Chains A and B, each alone.
Chain A
């Protein structure tokens, strides 16, 4: 399995997800079982590509920016589906599908250079848990961001419970990803934390979500401020994920994607 076959799997998954999103929007009930099944089937198609790709590469597909986009698309739809099943926000599947479509199209239209090499520092038992946990956190925060935007546009607090829960789960995963990275860095380079550009942006992102959680815990913060924090957190997260590659400081970073 190579990137050549990816468009077929991606097309099948996107079609199923779009079908699921349309089902959810057109359903008379709050929750459409058909939408959930269509989305889940699309996820299975996407997961099948990841598994076969992993087997053919003989290493986890987590090294390049394109490979992390693959996981992000998968986890974003998974988080969207779980949120839809729990809170029945019927438009969320459409939003998740559109965002996933953007990242999937990036992989199809602008493929990164993929090879089978895995540099020695990445050959660690921390590699898979660190990256997958982080990408899952990114996806969950992506869902929280979509809800925050919706709440902002519609001037409602209806989505706040879902945002709170997603941010709480995302924060648990974001912290776990950051800490597993620190433990790995100690094994690889001798220091838990190096203030590398990526680590610095990760710390900024983590602190922004921490402020959001603390404001919610204390019952402080106006709606606009809370939503602004989520938007800022999401933007910081994008910087941390791939934005740092374009900064001058990236020349010295140990985290640049190839």
Chain B
């Protein structure tokens, strides 16, 4: 435990120094193919390390239960800091170090538990594998994720979109508003709104809240807002590019399966043993 605290103390001191001394985290540098290569390197590198040197300090550190608690505690503290901030941004050196450590640790724990006989092995694989995929999809996939907003009106087709920083770009597809329908509750709040759009002057598409349109395997269109007048003349469409959504989505569904098994199968074996001790009056 003390060794773990020392090593992670040094590691996160480095993270803090980077956060304080270096300029903003260069997220774009880690865009594909760099993130893909790093993920591949981590997956194969840790596998080889575990096979070739199972007793090495690095393997013991990364698969230690103390590491789990230390990293989770740091994540709690980081979340609390973010939660109390008025404009939180997890894109920073600190979170880069934290999520890198969490991913490597989870990968090592997965290798250690998924390939040996153990009680509730399927549950272990679903929970840890799912969490690993979700973490990889969101953390490694973040540099490839982008969004743009397009004001779309009825007058003419538009390709002009805006980044969250108000940067202007031109998309390869054009959109034109054909029809917009909004209904209101008696108290004036919007009940529902939907837009009929013309994509590339050829294809009719319908957009409403909670019902995005898949433009391609990586891009989705969302209806996010409209002109708040009795007869709206334009609506705001958001284009989200998220190539890693399949990795993230798979991770989420695996984790949901693991939760179901956690509920059905109950307590893990180790806890049951300690439960019996506790029932006899012993301390855990």
Instruction: Flag if A165 contacts B267 (CB, 8 Å).
Output: yes
Instruction: Flag if A208 contacts B90 (CB, 8 Å).
Output: no
Residues in B10-64 with C-beta less than 8 Å from chain A: none
Residues in A102-129 with C-beta less than 8 Å from chain B: 115-121, 123-124
Instruction: Flag if A211 contacts B73 (CB, 8 Å).
Output: yes
Docked Cα-Cα span, A112 to B282, in Å, equals: 48
CB of B196 within 8 Å of the partner chain: no
Rounded to whole Å, the gap between the CB of B126 and the closest CB of chain A is: 11
Number of chain A residues close to chain B: CB under 8 A: 62
CB of A204 within 8 Å of the partner chain: yes
Instruction: Kindly specify which of A15-23, A47-55, A67-75, A193-201 makes contact with the partner chain.
Output: A193-201
Residues in A148-180 with C-beta less than 8 Å from chain B: 157-158, 160-161, 164-165, 168-169, 171-173, 175-176, 179-180
Q: Which residue of B lies closest to A232 (CB)?
A: B76
B contact residues around A119 at 8 Å (CB): 189-190
Residues in A181-206 with C-beta less than 8 Å from chain B: 182-184, 186-193, 195, 197, 200-201, 203-204
Once A161-B275, A179-B259, A187-B210 are accepted as A-B contacts, the answer to whether A214 and B72 lie under 8 Å apart by CB is yes
CB of A220 within 8 Å of the partner chain: yes
Instruction: Flag if A123 contacts B72 (CB, 8 Å).
Output: no
Instruction: Flag if A201 contacts B69 (CB, 8 Å).
Output: no
Instruction: Kindly specify which of B80-88, B152-160, B170-178 makes contact with the partner chain.
Output: B80-88
Query: Which residue in B84, B189, B260 is a CB contact (below 8 Å) of A249?
Result: B84
Instruction: Flag if B138 contacts A179 (CB, 8 Å).
Output: no
Rounded to whole Å, the gap between the CB of A126 and the closest CB of chain B is: 8
Q: Which residue of A lies closest to B194 (CB)?
A: A120
CB of A1 within 8 Å of the partner chain: no
CB of B222 within 8 Å of the partner chain: yes
Number of chain B residues close to chain A: CB under 8 A: 63
CB of A207 within 8 Å of the partner chain: yes
Residues in A206-257 with C-beta less than 8 Å from chain B: 207-208, 210-211, 214-221, 223, 226, 239, 244, 247-249, 251-252
Docked Cα-Cα span, A86 to B55, in Å, equals: 44
CB of B65 within 8 Å of the partner chain: yes
Q: Which residue of B lies closest to A162 (CB)?
A: B275
Query: Which residue in A120, A180, A203, A215 is a CB contact (below 8 Å) of B191?
Result: A120
CB of B115 within 8 Å of the partner chain: no
A contact residues around B259 at 8 Å (CB): 172-173, 175-176, 179
Docked Cα-Cα span, A192 to B220, in Å, equals: 13
B contact residues around A226 at 8 Å (CB): 284
Docked Cα-Cα span, A192 to B68, in Å, equals: 24
Query: Which residue in A195, A207, A247 is a CB contact (below 8 Å) of B72?
Result: A207
Docked Cα-Cα span, A157 to B66, in Å, equals: 23
CB of B242 within 8 Å of the partner chain: yes
CB of B161 within 8 Å of the partner chain: no
Residues in A10-46 with C-beta less than 8 Å from chain B: none
A-B pairs, 5 with minimum CB distance: A190-B240, A204-B79, A172-B263, A120-B209, A200-B83
Instruction: Report which B residues bind A (CB closer than 8 A).
Output: 65-66, 68-69, 72-73, 75-76, 79-80, 82-90, 138, 145, 147, 185, 187, 189-193, 208-212, 220, 222, 224, 238, 240, 242, 245, 248-249, 252, 255-256, 259-260, 262-263, 266-268, 270-271, 274-275, 278-279, 281-284
Q: What would 19 A/B residue contacts be, using CB atoms closer than 8 Å?
A: A120-B210, A121-B209, A157-B278, A168-B262, A168-B268, A184-B210, A190-B220, A190-B238, A192-B138, A192-B249, A195-B89, A197-B83, A200-B82, A203-B75, A210-B72, A217-B271, A219-B284, A248-B86, A249-B83
